[in-house]
Amino acid sequence: MSKNEINYIWTDKKRTIFGLPWSFTRYYLTETKLITKTGFLNIREDEIDLYKITDKSISRSFGQRMFGCATITIHSKDVDTPVKKVESIKNVRQVSELIDKHINMMRDKYSIRGRDMFDVHNDSYDDNDTD
């Protein structure tokens, strides 16, 4: 393995008609990041550090269910991409669990929990409030 080669844990393409991977959107999961690469001539890459992910959900449209695909919607504390959709992928439950596993590994590595990423402000607290 060369020095510049990245070790991908999971990779898939966005599926289009009939659940076939005929698109120019590709998803990569490494131990530390979720990477989305889109485009053919002009390529755009977007990365989210796994420890910044705060929530995720799975949705399946009727067409996706017919062809065994689903979409994972990820919410993160990433500045440029607070919401990321990993659209029309196969084996969504296994991918979701794989993402969870690596999120927890990265949070353990950096000693971060989900509550550490939220700004906690209690606006209802008032020093002069007496009952």
Residue 127 has pLDDT above 90, yes or no: no
70 in any annotated domain: yes
Confidence (pTM): 0.81
Instruction: Answer yes or no: are the C-beta atoms of 71 and 89 closer than 8 Å.
Output: yes
128 in any annotated domain: no
- Could you give the CA distance from residue 108 to residue 124 in angstroms, rounded to a whole number? 33
Residue 3 has pLDDT above 70, yes or no: no
Residue 121 has pLDDT above 80, yes or no: no
Please report, for the domain that includes residue 52, its CATH number: 2.30.29.30
pLDDT in tens, 73-82: 999 999 999 9
**Tally of structural domains, the chain:** 1
Mean pLDDT computed over 71-91: 95
pLDDT (0 to 100) of residue 112: 85
Residue 61 has pLDDT above 90, yes or no: yes
31 in any annotated domain: yes
125 in any annotated domain: no
Q: Which residues pair with 33 in a beta bridge?
A: 49
Block residue for tokens 């959709």: 85
Instruction: Answer yes or no: are the C-beta atoms of 84 and 72 closer than 8 Å.
Output: no
Model confidence band, residue 6 (pLDDT cutoffs 50, 70, 90) = confident
4 in any annotated domain: no
Range of 51's domain? Answer: 10-111
CB contact set of 94 (below 8 Å; sequence gap of 6+): none
